[in-house]
Amino acid sequence: MSRRKKTPVDFSELGGFRFLHFGTEWIQGGMRINRPYQLALDYQQSMMALMLFVPEPKEILQLGLGAGGLAKYTWKYFPEAKTRVVEIAEEVYMASRMWFKMPDDDDHLETIFEDCKKYLVGAQKSADWLLTDIYDAEAWGPVYNDVPFYRLCRKALRDGGVSSYNVFGGEDFTKSLDAISEAFNGHVLVMPEVAEGNRIILAKNGPKETYPAELLDQRAAELTASRKIPAKKLLKMLRKENNFKGDIVF
């Protein structure tokens, strides 16, 4: 059995931000140095649009750690939830601890060192949220990006659970969207491309339902105030990108 090649890790700093790299110029995560527990990158904020549909998760599963931005955020601002992070590379975890203020594991945070696809096989109906951000050093796209993988993701969600996927924009986006849509029977929403070139796809495990405009607007206001996230902006982006004026069908 061949051993996994270690991921080269380093960081850079610019304009009050610190960025994680896997031996290339590609950014694999980042934080504001003076606000380390808030989400620093636009694509990370877009991934959190799923909170508009499940605002109070109890179990959060994250695939891929990076600089720890998402894990730190849910640990800090959703302390009532348990966050499990699956990361294959211990060296990435150590980098997040040394340079990006990743907290110790505790009752609300668990780090699991395993290939995420293998982990999903035994993780059926275990999560209210699933956050998937899985890139390697080459950063050519998500490490797993096919229908069988996304079906495993769906099985990991509880009934009514929601997931978000960080994928490439541009020409590669259609491939990811088609695969996720097939795995989730078309129950998907999309976010617009952000400055980093990424796009986020949301997918839900369960029947489509209508989320009334008043409910979403109220949730967005509450989440903006309590969870340190621009939820009202995310809701506006979500409506525009999916051609909804008020209510959202998801």
Instruction: Identify the top-confidence range among 101-110, 134-143, 189-198.
Output: 101-110
Whole-number Cα distances in Å, 207 to 88, 101, 155: 33, 39, 14
CA 108 remoteness from chain centre: 18
Per-residue pLDDT band at 100 (split at 50, 70, 90):
very high
Pull the structure tokens for residue 56.
């109070």
Cβ burial of 242 (10 Å; 0-12, 13-18, 19+) is middle
Residue-range domains of the chain with CATH: 42-243 (3.40.50.150)
pLDDT value for 1: 38
Q: Given a cut of 50, is residue 249 above it in pLDDT? A: yes
CA 241 remoteness from chain centre: 19
Residue with tokens 């990435």: 92
Cα 36 from Cα 52, distance rounded (Å): 23
Is the Cα torsion angle 158, 160, 164, 165 positive or negative in sign?
A: positive
pLDDT value for 138: 64
* H helix count then E strand count, the chain: 8, 12
The whole-number average pLDDT for the span 182-203 is 94
Answer yes or no: are the C-beta atoms of 138 and 177 closer than 8 Å.
no
Q: Given a cut of 90, is residue 51 above it in pLDDT? A: yes
Mean pLDDT, the chain, integer:
93
Pull the structure tokens for residue 207.
């029947």
Greater confidence, 224 or 138? 224
Range 86-119 burial, b when 16+ CB lie within 10 A, else e? bbbbeebbebbeebbebeeeeebbebeeeebbeb
pLDDT over 70 for what percent of the chain? 96
Q: Given a cut of 90, is residue 71 above it in pLDDT? A: yes
Instruction: Identify the top-confidence range among 5-9, 11-15, 84-88.
Output: 84-88
The whole-number average pLDDT for the span 196-211 is 94
Residue with tokens 């939820």: 231
Q: H helices within 145-226, ranges in order?
A: 147-156, 173-183, 213-226
pLDDT value for 171: 81
The whole-number average pLDDT for the span 77-100 is 95
Q: Given a cut of 90, is residue 3 above it in pLDDT? A: no
Which H or E run contains 77? helix 69-77
The pLDDT tens digits of the residues spanning 12-45 come to 989 999 998 988 888 888 999 999 999 989 999 9
The pLDDT tens digits of the residues spanning 141-184 come to 789 999 999 999 999 999 999 999 999 888 889 999 999 999 99
The whole-number average pLDDT for the span 43-56 is 97
Residue with tokens 């636009």: 42
